[in-house]
């Protein structure tokens, strides 16, 4: 959620689109629910783009080859530990158009529907060591994210307008957004 606030401060036009979509689909007389996720396509795509762009854990948990395999001209014996470079995958220009740009459209197909499992999007890892809480995390993030931007608008604090709120700091094994101050306002 910290990343989503920072990124939507940096990209107020995207924040505005999320708020407009939530207003149109959910309205003001109720809270967003999981039943809204399929209809809130731009909101869901924005949340997925936050996950791709932030790449909180740049490497997956270790996996091991179950048999000898050939990859890129190299032989990996059975039992070799393998780490997926999720950051590299999330920023691969062969998989993403303009990967350095924060674009929710990365997760929308030509009809405007959300691309749920695009190649190169593994924020929760993959295989037998995939995060067991992936579906719960995605559901909770969606509910919090859509509620937050249903009710509030965030912007950079005065004097911070020239700072890039999309920059990260690498700490231990993960990527964290910078600690910047934000202004939170009620939308209506």
List pLDDT tens digits, range 165-188: 998 877 666 777 888 899 999 998
Instruction: Compute the average pLDDT of residues 5-32.
Output: 97
Task: Kindly give the interhelix angle for 12-25 and 2-10, rounded to the nearest 10 degrees.
Answer: 110
Q: Which residue has the higher pLDDT, 174 or 12?
A: 12
User: pLDDT tens across 127-174, in order?
Assistant: 776 788 989 999 999 999 999 999 999 999 999 999 999 988 776 667
Q: Which of 186, 185, 183 has its CA nearest to residue 6? A: 183
pLDDT in tens, 76-94: 999 999 888 888 889 999 9
Q: Decide if domain 2-56+87-186 falls under CATH 2.60.40.1260.
A: no
pLDDT at 176: 78
Torsions phi, psi of 28, nearest 5? Answer: -115, -5
Task: Please tell me the total number of residues recorded for the chain in this structure.
Answer: 188
Identify which of 53, 168, 170 has the alpha carbon closest to the alpha carbon of residue 179: 168
- DSSP assignment string, 39-54: T-HHHHHHHHHHHHHH
Domain residue limits, the chain: 2-56+87-186
DSSP state for residue 59 in the 8-state scheme: B
pTM over 0.75: yes
Chain centre to alpha carbon of residue 73: 33
pLDDT at 60 over 90: no
């Amino acid at each position: 959620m910290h990343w989503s606030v920072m990124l939507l401060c940096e990209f107020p036009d995207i924040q505005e689109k999320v708020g407009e979509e939530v207003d149109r689909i959910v309205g003001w007389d109720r809270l967003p629910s999981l039943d809204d996720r399929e209809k809130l396509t731009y909101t869901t795509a924005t949340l997925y783009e936050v996950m791709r762009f932030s790449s909180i854990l740049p490497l997956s948990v270790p996996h091991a080859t179950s048999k000898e395999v050939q990859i890129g001209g190299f032989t990996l014996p059975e039992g070799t530990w393998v780490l997926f470079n999720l950051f590299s995958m999330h920023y691969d220009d062969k998989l993403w158009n303009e990967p350095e740009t924060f674009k929710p459209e990365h997760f929308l197909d030509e009809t405007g529907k959300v691309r749920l499992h695009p190649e190169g999007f593994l924020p929760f890892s993959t295989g037998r060591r995939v995060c067991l809480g992936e579906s719960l995390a995605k559901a909770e993030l969606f509910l919090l994210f859509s509620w937050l931007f249903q009710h509030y608008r965030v912007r950079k604090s005065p004097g911070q307008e020239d700072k890039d709120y999309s920059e990260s700091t690498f700490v231990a094994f993960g990527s964290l957004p910078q600690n910047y101050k934000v202004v939170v306002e009620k939308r209506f």
